[in-house]
A and B are shown apart, each in its own frame.
Chain A
Amino acid sequence: DTAVSQTPKYLVTQMGNDKSIKCEQNLGHDTMYWYKQDSKKFLKIMFSYNNKELIINETVPNRFSPKSPDKAHLNLHINSLELGDSAVYFCASRPPSGSSYNEQFFGPGTRLTVL
């Protein structure tokens, strides 16, 4: 009964390849996020979707394209992978506005290594 799940857990790929990471939440939340955690453990927001609509789009290269087929899923596609994309990517969701204070429920992370 995993709340927020991500696949794959580990992803090792060559520079220039295209890859996708999938995220699903079974909490009934309306809002989902993608975060990037670098080697210094700094967690930075990348995107946020609310009911399949993009609401936050931080300064992220356009090689990164999120897609939300429904409010329980938020996938991240990355084109032309670069060495600097190596990091741990976390998916998160939050309860509906009015019932929470932006508390985030995180998935287990996807460790991406670009060689």
Chain B
Amino acid sequence: TQLLEQSPQFLSIQEGENLTVYCNSSSVFSSLQWYRQEPGEGPVLLVTVVTGGEVKKLKRLTFQFGDARKDSSLHITAAQPGDTGLYLCAGSGGYQKVTFGTGTKLQVIP
């Protein structure tokens, strides 16, 4: 069974601070996605990383895939209240099956 552990589980920070969320596994994934979920809604795709060591940027968000494709990180620079939400990583290993991480709940206080 593939497991994806995210840390921290909860994060409450002030607007303008930087933060990093980690997604770790002992399994190798062919691709990894990050999603953000807001209360009462479904998760929304932010990014997909495929190649070991790959770095992708989405405005103030920087995503990195580990060299061995077992882990990933999400770094947010100068967090804003609009970044508040549940961040989920998800790894693809088997045929069309996706394993979601344990989630990181982020609160950005104005």
**A102-B31, A104-B43, A108-B41 known; A43-B100 Cβ under 8 A:** yes
- Taking a contact as CB atoms under 8 Å apart, the answer to whether A104 and B90 are in contact is yes
In the bound assembly, the distance between CA atoms of A55 and B94 in angstroms comes to: 12
- Taking a contact as CB atoms under 8 Å apart, the answer to whether A109 and B42 are in contact is yes
Size of the chain B interface, CB-CB below 8 angstroms:
26
Per the 8 Å Cβ criterion, residues 16-35 of A in contact with B are 31, 33, 35
Offer 26 A-B interface pairs, CB within 8 angstroms, sorted by A: A4-B42, A41-B37, A41-B86, A41-B103, A42-B100, A42-B102, A42-B103, A43-B88, A43-B100, A43-B103, A45-B97, A45-B99, A45-B100, A50-B96, A55-B95, A90-B42, A90-B43, A92-B42, A101-B30, A101-B33, A102-B92, A102-B97, A103-B45, A107-B42, A108-B42, A109-B40
A62 at the interface (CB under 8 A from B): no
**A42-B103, A109-B42 known; A104-B33 Cβ under 8 A:** yes
In the bound assembly, the distance between CA atoms of A103 and B88 in angstroms comes to: 13
Of B40, B42, B97, which is within 8 A of A106 by CB?
B42
| Closest A residue to B86 using CB positions | A41
Judged by DSSP, the binding face of A is: strand
A-B residue pair count with CB separations less than 8 angstroms: 66
**Which A residues contact B (CB, under 8 angstroms)?**
4, 31, 33, 35, 40-45, 48, 50, 55-56, 90, 92, 94, 97, 101-109
